[in-house]
Amino acid sequence: MLFRNHYGVDLGSSSVKVYSAFRNKTYIEKNMVAYRERKILSMGNDAYEMFEKAPADVTVNSPMAFGMIANLELQEIVLYSMMRKIDHTTGLGADMYFAVPLDMTAIEKRAYYHLVNGHWLRKNRVFMVESPIADAIAMNVNLEKEEGSMIVNIGAQSTEFSIITEGKIIISRKIPIGGRQMNESICSEIRKQYNLQIGTRTAKRLKLVMGRLNDQKKEARKVVGIDSVSGLPREEVVSASVVNEGITNCVNQIASEMKTFLERTPPQIAYHIAKEGIYLTGGSTRLPYLDNYLASYTGFAFNLSDLYETSAVRGLEKIIRDRELRKWAQPVKQKKL
Ligand SMILES: Nc1ncnc2c1ncn2[C@@H]1O[C@H](COP(=O)(O)OP(=O)(O)OP(=O)(O)O)[C@@H](O)[C@H]1O
Ligand SMILES: [Mg+2]
């Protein structure tokens, strides 16, 4: 029986995932805040609704950038408002398990501590689990074997490659490319091919309905954008092949970084990874046929997780529910910082 409430929290640049042990359930909300000067207008999914539609004096953005906390105060507000919605909590006295990036500086670690020991969230205990470890636990990877496993997470603003042997991450690399860069790449392809400027939200919609990395279906969608020459709004029918050209440009960068990463991996480890397959997760791996595409680019086999964006928070859930797994969480105390 758990007396204190336990939460698992994965702060992503695109969404916050929170597991509540009390409810035994995971909640996902957009990691966005809309504000005018110092006044908060909306948060989470409501703020995302305003994204790219808000008037000029309203700022809408994410408190996380490239997988790091960029605005502590706003991030605390988003997390607190989510926890209030879930458990009607006061924000006091819980155990908070965070999936965190590797190689954080002392200042970045301190940010996680202060996030839940600040204005609204107080007196909470903090535990950190390295994200790739949380992903691996969720995907049932045996962390303690000596041969080595490779985990790849393709998120919204970052892609991370990690190799784990004997319970440690021995090599890792994070690149600032993810789903958002795919959206931007779609925008620039459409600008090139149609002389039309569209917003990244429209690009994302095109990605979700037509994005796929194999033989194209002959599809097209109508969009409205701004004509690059006249500056006037214009309608255009955008074909799937243009959208996928944009996506492919971005995926090729990820694939080529992955290939270089694998080439630098010690041969005995690479040999085992080739046999076992690379574990693939993160929201952007929902892109149809991405695993096949990466497999033919790199020559390695892939195990695609069906957890996608929720894998890290699922790992935290397992750690919270199973005492045996608690060793993967490091407590963070204020005096140590
Ligand atoms: N069906 C889909 N096809 C392609 N991309 C998708 C699909 N569904 C979601 N995505 C993308 O997944 C990304 C969100 O993934 P995820 O939640 O793992 O990112 P995050 O954890 O918030 O970001 P990061 O880890 O980079 O900070 C978004 O960019 C979104 O566009
Ligand atoms: Mg993530």
Helix (H, G, I), strand (E, B) or coil at 146: coil
Output the pLDDT for position 186: 98
Burial of 268 (0-12, 13-18, 19+ CB in 10 A): exposed
Distance 76 CA to ligand 1 centre (A): 22
pLDDT in tens, 173-196: 999 999 999 999 999 999 999 999
CA angle, corner 184, sides to 194 and 236, nearest 5?
A: 25
**Surrounding residues of ion ligand 2, Cβ less than 5 A:** 12, 155
Confidence of residue 66 (pLDDT cuts 50, 70, 90): confident
One-letter amino acid for residue 17 of the chain: K
Residue 126 β-bridge partners: 96, 332
Nearest CA to ligand 1 atom 15: 283
Percentage with pLDDT > 70 across the chain: 98
Distance CA 253, CA 258 (A): 9
Q: Is the pLDDT of residue 1 over 50?
A: no
Mean pLDDT for the stretch of residues 45-59: 89
Distance 210 CA to ligand 2 centre (A): 23
Q: What is the mean pLDDT of the chain?
A: 94
> Residue 308 — left, alpha, or beta (φ > 0 → left; ψ -120 to 50 → alpha)?
left
Q: Please state which of the ranges 51-55, 82-86, 152-156 shows the lowest mean pLDDT.
A: 51-55
Nearest CA to ligand 1 atom 9: 283
Mean pLDDT for the stretch of residues 223-250: 97
pLDDT in tens, 255-300: 999 999 999 999 999 999 999 999 999 999 999 999 999 999 999 9
Contact 237, 220 (CB under 8 A): yes
Higher pLDDT, 30 or 217: 30
Output the pLDDT for position 104: 87
Counting ligands in written order, the one closest to the CA of 183 is 1
For residue 158, which atom of ligand 1 is closest to its CA?
26
Distance 309 CA to ligand 2 centre (A): 7
Distance 282 CA to ligand 1 centre (A): 6
Helix (H, G, I), strand (E, B) or coil at 203: helix
Distance CA 130, CA 138 (A): 13
Q: Is the pLDDT of residue 12 over 50?
A: yes
Torsions phi, psi for 113 (to 5 deg)? -65, -50
Output the pLDDT for position 334: 77
Mean pLDDT for the stretch of residues 311-335: 94
Q: Among positive and negative, which fits the CA dihedral 290, 296, 299, 302?
A: positive
The first and second tokens of residue 77, run together, are: 């507000």
Confidence of residue 228 (pLDDT cuts 50, 70, 90): very high
3-state helix, strand, coil in the chain (%, to 5): 40, 30, 30
Output the pLDDT for position 89: 81
Counting ligands in written order, the one closest to the CA of 31 is 1
Q: Among positive and negative, which fits the CA dihedral 253, 254, 255, 258?
A: positive
Compute CA distances 40 → 37, 56, 63, 245, whole Å: 8, 15, 13, 38
Output the pLDDT for position 184: 98
Residue 237 β-bridge partners: 222
Confidence of residue 335 (pLDDT cuts 50, 70, 90): low
Counting ligands in written order, the one closest to the CA of 67 is 1
Output the pLDDT for position 217: 79
pLDDT in tens, 76-119: 999 999 999 999 888 889 999 999 999 888 889 999 999 999 99
Hey, which of 9, 10, 13, 14 would you mutate to test ligand 1's pocket, going by the most ligand atoms within 8 Å of its Cβ? 14
pLDDT in tens, 126-151: 999 999 999 999 999 999 999 999 99
Mean pLDDT for the stretch of residues 157-165: 96
Confidence of residue 38 (pLDDT cuts 50, 70, 90): confident
Distance 313 CA to ligand 1 centre (A): 14
Ligand 1 neighbours (beta carbon < 6 A): 12-15, 64, 67, 155-158, 178-180, 204, 207-208, 211, 282-284, 286-287, 309
Distance 154 CA to ligand 1 centre (A): 7
Distance 31 CA to ligand 2 centre (A): 11
Nearest CA to ligand 1 atom 11: 284
pTM for the model: 0.95
H helix intervals, the chain: 44-50, 72-87, 106-115, 131-138, 179-194, 200-210, 240-263, 267-276, 290-298, 311-321
Confidence of residue 71 (pLDDT cuts 50, 70, 90): very high
Output the pLDDT for position 216: 73
Q: Is the pLDDT of residue 317 over 50?
A: yes
The first and second tokens of residue 53, run together, are: 């539609």
